[in-house]
Amino acid sequence: MADQQKKIIANIDRLNQHLDQAGCSALVLRSGKNFTYLAGFAYPGTLARHLDFPDSPREVLLVWPRRGEPVMILNHYAVPLAQRDSWLQGIEVYDDYADSPYQKMAAVLKRMGLDRETVGFEKTYVSATRWEEIERLLPGVNAIDCTGLMDRVRWIKTSAEVALLEKAADILDEAYLEVFPTVREGETEREVHGRLVESCLRKGAGWVHGILNSHRNTVAYGGEGDMRFQRGDIIRNDYVAYYQGYPGHQSRTVVIGQPSQEQKETYRVMLDIYRMTVDRCQVGTKASDIHRFASEKFREHGYQQRLSLAGHSVGAWWHQQEPYIVPGCHQELEEGMVIAMEPHVNYWHLQDMFLITKDGPRLLSPKFSTDEMLVVG
């Protein structure tokens, strides 16, 4: 199956157990999170978005049989990446913008003798047009949705996955610690953002994305512009730095110039609620209960804003990971999950990744202390 020089870090035993429980003979995967998880490599930068766009002309597919050798169906751009980085060896190439990868996929399943078996597809990432094509190409296949199955497989991280997440977290925190102390009044959001991205890349990240704004910028997550930082500004930030397809994902509270007494007091409230909420992340606790706890604590302190997302799982890829710490997610936390916790209101954004253990949550990003706001400028 694999290149012996490259060790598979995915939990294949767990995958096989879930395939057997579902009576599934094969999977056809195309999302970034699942492709990276099982193929062992990720498109970098803007190419990565092709993994998730349902109508991408450059999508890649992974045919994973319960028994036998997996096959990657790749466009020409992805082939060198796979040959360099993947632990898999089977490759079929299609002509992007001209051919359909699903024709290759159907041929592979037929060659494997699986064209009349139960096969899982990620309906969330397959367009209606592609689904009609699958039904036309494979009329004998019992096609089921494997999105939830793969979410459950990836929930529990292997030790090698945790090590990649820790490395990615270190890269991001080291970049924060290098760049934030250099920020000065008068610099623009765009200038500081550029330095942060450059620092992450220089320290080993494969690619980086995120947001960085003054708290006076009322269009959060609207991109970095030419607004200049002023004394007293809180720097809102939310970055992801990838290392071998796994993200470091942290947010820090930074103030330009000495903070006011009100800012100090507000930060202390935010930090206390944040840490109390993290402490609720115990094995067996429902995600919805953690969200409710955080919401109640904010309301007790006079914050009536709706708390949207209090956290989410991370792994191969970034944000599209169950479970989410939201009111409607009643999944219990399990040992081995990694959760990015970010209960916050307004621009007071704290975030870290935690490994859920039988002894409680373990911080994966310890390099940057959040005991106090970082004062710069």
Q: In the prediction, which pLDDT does 307 show? A: 92
pLDDT at 3 over 60: no
Write the pLDDT tens digit of every residue in 102-120: 999 999 999 999 999 999 9
pLDDT at 303 over 60: yes
Instruction: Give one DSSP letter per residue of 164-178, joined into a string.
Output: HHHHHHHHHHHHHHH
Alpha carbons 309 and 295: distance in angstroms, whole number: 10
Q: In the prediction, which pLDDT does 142 show? A: 98
Of the listed ranges 1-10, 84-93, 360-369, the least confidently predicted one is: 1-10
Task: Confirm whether 12-155 and 159-376 share one CATH topology.
Answer: no
pLDDT at 320 over 70: no
Percentage of the chain beyond pLDDT 90 is 85
Alpha carbons 258 and 216: distance in angstroms, whole number: 17
C-beta separation of 90 from 83 below 8 A: no
Residue ranges per domain, the chain?
12-155, 159-376
In which band, very low, low, confident or very high, does the pLDDT at 329 lie, cut at 50, 70 and 90? very high
Strand 26-29, strand 61-65: pairing: antiparallel
Q: In the prediction, which pLDDT does 333 show? A: 98
Region 159-376: CATH code: 3.90.230.10
What mean pLDDT do residues 184-206 have?
97
Q: In the prediction, which pLDDT does 308 show? A: 87
* Residue found by looking up tokens 């002509």 in the block: 95
Architecture label for domain 12-155: 3-Layer(aba) Sandwich (3.40)
In which band, very low, low, confident or very high, does the pLDDT at 83 lie, cut at 50, 70 and 90? very high
Of the listed ranges 113-122, 195-204, 218-227, 272-281, the least confidently predicted one is: 218-227
Instruction: Give one DSSP letter per residue of 61-123, joined into a string.
Output: EEEEESSS--EEEE-TTHHHHHHHH-SB--EEE--TTTS-HHHHHHHHHHHTT-TTSEEEE-G
125 DSSP assignment: G
pLDDT averaged over every residue in the chain: 94
In which band, very low, low, confident or very high, does the pLDDT at 44 lie, cut at 50, 70 and 90? low
pLDDT at 45 over 90: no
Q: In the prediction, which pLDDT does 152 show? A: 94
Query: In terms of pLDDT, which residue wins out, 304 or 325?
Result: 325
Q: Helix axis angle, 32-39 relative to 147-155, nearest 10°?
A: 50
Q: In the prediction, which pLDDT does 53 show? A: 78
